[in-house]
Structure 1
Amino acid sequence: MKQSFVILVKKYSFYFGGDQPAVAWAERLRSVFGAFIGLALVLTVAKYLGELSGLDEWLMASLGASALLVFALPQSPMAQPWAVVAGNTLSALVGITVLHLVSEPLLAMPLAASLAIMGMFILRCLHPPAAAVALIVVLGHVTHYRYAFFPVMVDSILLVLAGGIYSNLTGKAYPNRPK
């Protein structure tokens, strides 16, 4: 009976994070502290730039998800500068364009996200949080192309810069160099 229970636990632990690699506490804390510092810096600079330019939109809502990749998984191809900056910016542009062409939100949302994914495949800049950017644009009824450049592109660039500085100061190479 006990052996059967152990087998069941091993078999189904996958569904409860059993496939996740073990991460040392020092690395967890390094990632969390980096994400905090990086996001605080990016949001402070973006807010200041927004006030300077008189724009209300200075925050890209999916920035937290991008920060997870940049600070916790800096080795991932999806966390590299091109993926973060180009993926987010492209997805915003796609979402805004779809919103101009399709008025029905139930069609515009999946169309924007799926076309953004296709664009990221074509430009080789897959970044999962970027698909959310396309949805955010449609949900927020963002119709100005300027949004793709500020805050989306500017926030993405600032996040990558903060990630690069922090990672390299704490012993992690970022961005990854092709081998």
Structure 2
Amino acid sequence: MRHQFRNSIKRYFFYLGGDQPQVPWIERIRSVAGAFIGLMLVLTTAKFLGELSGLDEWLMASLGASALLVFALPGSPMAQPWAVIAGNTVSALIGIATIHLVGEPLLAMPLAASLSILGMFILRCLHPPAAAVALIVVLGHVMHFRYAFFPVMVDSLLLVLAGAVYSNLTGKRYPNRPN
């Protein structure tokens, strides 16, 4: 009976994060500090550039999710510069085009997200937070294609640069290099 109980606990623990790898505390702290420093640099720079150009939009809302990939999982193919920059940018462009073509948000949202996934597949730049960019564009009724370049592309580029500097200074290789 006791053995069965222990096996049941083990089996169900899987659904409560039991499949997540153990990460040493030093790596957790390195990732968290990097995300904080990187996001502060990106947001400060983007806000300055937005004020300089007279634009209200300077922040891409899914930047936190992109930061998780860049700083906590720098070896992931979905955290590489092309995936982050192109994935976010193409998703914003697709979201904006969708809101122009489909006026009904209930249809435009899933269409924008699914087409952005297709676009990322075609361009070989899968980046999960980018699908959210397409949704954010539709939800925010963003109609200007400029938004895909600033803040989306610029924020993504700044995040990748911050990630590269931080990761390499702290002993993590980023971006991946061909062997």
Give the TM-score, by structure 1 length. Answer: 0.99
**Shift of residue 76, structure 1, vs aligned partner:** 0.2
Partner of 1:135: 135
Segments of 4+ in structure 1 off by > 2 A?
Answer: none
Residue 178 of structure 1 and its aligned partner are, at CA, apart by 2.3
Superposed, 1:139-154 pairs within 5 Å as 139-154=139-154
Structure 2 residue aligned with 1:109: 109
Name the SS for the 2:141 alignment partner.
coil
For residues 153 and 29 of structure 2, what CA distance do their matches in structure 1 show?
28
State the Cα distance separating 1:173 from its structure 2 match. 0.2
Query: SS of the residue aligned with 1:23?
Result: coil
- What CA distance in whole angstroms lies between the structure 1 residues aligned with 2:47 and 2:100? 27
Mean Cα deviation higher: 6-15 or 123-132: 6-15
Q: Provide, for residues 87-117 of structure 1, a one-character-per-residue CA deviation record: whole Å limited to 9, x for no partner.
A: 0000000000000000000100000000000
Q: Which runs of 5+ in 2 are unaligned?
A: none
Structure 2 equivalent of residue 42 of structure 1: 42
CA–CA distance in structure 1, aligned partners of residues 178 and 57 of structure 2: 35
Query: Counterparts of 1:55 and 1:149 in 2: how far apart (Å)?
Result: 12
Q: Amino acid of the residue matched to residue 80 of structure 2?
A: Q
Q: CA deviation at 1:5?
A: 1.2
**Count of equivalent residues:** 179
1: distance between equivalents of 2:73 and 2:9? 28
Aligned residues: CA RMSD: 0.5
* Cα drift, residue 143 of structure 1: 0.3
Match of 2:2 in 1: 2
Indicate yes or no: 2:170 matched with 1:170: yes
Q: Which amino acid aligns with 1:8?
A: S
Q: Match of 2:70?
A: 70
TM-score, reference length from structure 2: 0.99
Partner of 2:120: 120
Letter in 1 for 2:106: L
**SS at structure 1 position matched to 2:106:** helix
What is the match of residue 159 of structure 1?
A: 159
